[in-house]
Amino acid sequence: MQSKPIPSDDDANTGSDDAREIVEATVDEATGDEGSSNPVETVANAAQDVVATAAQDIGSFIRSQRVAAEVSLRQLADRAGVSNPYLSQIERGLRKPSADVLAQIAKGLRVSAEVLYVRAGILEERPASPVRDALLIDTSISERQKQMLLEIYESFQRENCENDADPTAGNHD
């Protein structure tokens, strides 16, 4: 029976060392951190920073909306069905609320849930539209009604764009 040669440490680690160097270079480039001892930890810390920043952004936005509406923290917590300490943690950026909690907070503030979803990074921001903006700030209709009206409005816009692209499409008179 022939024995296989035992690879040297240099041979065995070449692939993993190359991969480690690539990861470290990528992490250094992304974080601006030269010579980090643990690239996985650095990436995890960078991800936590991104989440913390998003949480602070939505929290400070909620606080500014609450103050502008002249609603106390306790009043908003009651309206949203969350505890006072939890809402305080959200406003300070210590907790990141779920979509359901954001919807309840939006209802308590009488703002569109979509606005909070965009601020929290749950939804992408839609292009500005005076009709859309007017619908979103209207407090006389429910969130569901706003969404339905926006969907109908956007479907009409898409249909009109398609008709503009195809001159024969709209001639059914």
The reply to whether CATH 1.10.10.10 applies to domain 42-125 is no
21 Cβ neighbours under 8 A, 6+ residues apart: none
Domain chopping of the chain, boundaries: 42-125, 126-173
Give residue 40's pLDDT. 65
Per residue in 31-63, pLDDT tens? Answer: 555 544 666 666 666 555 554 555 568 999 999
Is the pTM of the predicted complex or chain greater than 0.85? Answer: no
Which residue do the tokens 């690539």 mark?
22
Q: How far apart are CA 25 and CA 163, in angstroms?
A: 51
Give residue 161's pLDDT. 87
- From residue 52, alpha-carbon distances to 49, 68, 91, 158 in Å are 5, 24, 12, 37
Give residue 102's pLDDT. 94
Burial of 35: CB neighbours in 10 Å, binned 0-12, 13-18, 19+: exposed
Q: How far apart are CA 97 and CA 103, in angstroms?
A: 10
Residue 91 confidence (pLDDT) above 90 = yes
Give residue 37's pLDDT. 61
Biggest CA–CA distance in the chain, Å, is: 90
Residue 147 confidence (pLDDT) above 60 = yes
- From residue 97, alpha-carbon distances to 20, 76, 83, 143, 156 in Å are 35, 14, 12, 19, 34
Give residue 125's pLDDT. 75
**In angstroms, how far is CA 173 from the centroid of its own chain?**
45
